Amino acid sequence: MYCRSCKTLVTIFFDPFSHLLERLTNYSFVLLVSDVNIHLDDDLSTDTIRFNEILDAHNFTQHVQCPTHVGGHLLDVFLTRHSPSYVWKIDVLPPGGLSDHSMITGSADLLKDSCDDTATRCARSWRSFNLDVFLHDLSRSVLVLSPPSDPAELFTEYQRTLTLLLDQHAPVRRRRVPSRRSAP
């Protein structure tokens, strides 16, 4: 994933990056190596703060801790999930030569047993959902028969009624499943 240094594009970068990490949290082993073009060595930068918040929110670790660009900034990342820790070693060669970026190499144990690595999945039971019965119950609710006139109360009643009816007609089921193991 590459992020240009333009301020507008940096803003556009964060949502897709966050969605990518969210999708990757289902896998046991994840390794992302990238040039993000954010000065990650500048702890006061709002872009650095936001980038690190996204990593923390999705349980990822950035392993590169030294400058990776001839300009003296840390622009490149070597990301893995916090747990389990499977990175053995990271080497960052000085920038220059063929590129203005450092060459980053790493060693990781991607064959580590991950039997205990599970995720909780939540989903509604739509197979048994009966639209006619749901609409009948909705038509007899306070939301339809005597809706509040205040917009805030109407919103609250809307949320309460639909949550109650959906929980009744298509209950949420939680189950623990093994995380998908990605192929090395």
Residue 85 is predicted with a pLDDT of 63
Q: How does the average pLDDT of the chain come out, rounded?
A: 82
- 38/59 same-domain check: yes
Whether 46 shows a pLDDT value over 90: the answer reads: no
Residue 11 is predicted with a pLDDT of 61
**Residue that is last in its domain, among 86, 108, 130:** 108
In a domain, 183, yes or no: no
Q: What mean pLDDT comes out for the span 78-84?
A: 75
In a domain, 184, yes or no: no
In a domain, 78, yes or no: yes
Are 40 and 5 contacting, i.e. CB atoms less than 8 angstroms apart?
A: no
- 32/67 same-domain check: yes
Q: What mean pLDDT comes out for the span 78-106?
A: 79
**Residue that is last in its domain, among 108, 129, 159:** 108
- 95/129 same-domain check: no
Q: Phi/psi of residue 99, each to 5°?
A: -140, 160
Residue 2 is predicted with a pLDDT of 54
Taking only the tens place, the pLDDT of each residue in 98-125 is: 788 888 888 877 665 544 566 677 788 8
Contact partners, residue 181, CB within 8 Å, separation at least 6 = 27, 28, 29, 114
In a domain, 51, yes or no: yes
In a domain, 1, yes or no: no
Q: What mean pLDDT comes out for the span 86-101?
A: 80
Give the chain's domain count: 2
R_g (Cα) of the chain, nearest Å:
24
Query: Which residue range(s) make up the domain with 73?
Result: 7-108
Taking only the tens place, the pLDDT of each residue in 132-153 is: 999 999 999 999 999 999 998 9
In a domain, 113, yes or no: no
Taking only the tens place, the pLDDT of each residue in 11-33 is: 688 888 888 988 887 777 788 88
